[in-house]
Amino acid sequence: MERFCYAFQIAPGMEAEYDRRHNEIWPSLVQAIKNAGFSNYSLFRRGREVIAYAECAPSIQSALNRLELEEVSQHWNRYIRSIMTSAVDSDGHLLNYDEIWHLD
């Protein structure tokens, strides 16, 4: 299991819409996320900044790869990214944070 933390920005004025979309998250997407190997997945928002944290099994890359293949995930990504301003760097990688320390 690997821990994964990344950040992104919501478009100005879209904070309530972002919250609404997650309050109504599709059950099929939740199942796809679990099936891909994600657990303990949380989103934290302050203003337009969102920090995401998840635990991935067996690895971050394998969970991301499996989720990317799911049609419901592809549909959600188009739906949610329409109200986001930045989620990836210039190479197309998620804006992730390196883990420095962890308390069990």
- CATH at residue 81: 3.30.70.1090
Residue 38 lies in a domain: yes
What is the tens place of the pLDDT at every residue in 41-70? 999 999 999 999 999 999 999 999 999 999
pLDDT at 92 over 90: no
Tens digits of per-residue pLDDT, 10-49?
999 999 999 999 999 999 999 999 999 999 999 999 999 9
Range of the domain at 43: 2-97
Tokens of 55: 């635990």
CA distances from 61 to 4, 15, 26, 64, 87 (A): 10, 29, 23, 5, 17
Residues facing residue 8 across a β-bridge: 50
Q: Return the bridge partners of 3, or none.
A: 55
8 A C-beta contact, residue 38 and residue 68: no
CA 26 – CA 21 distance, rounded (Å) = 9
Q: Provide the domain count of the chain.
A: 1
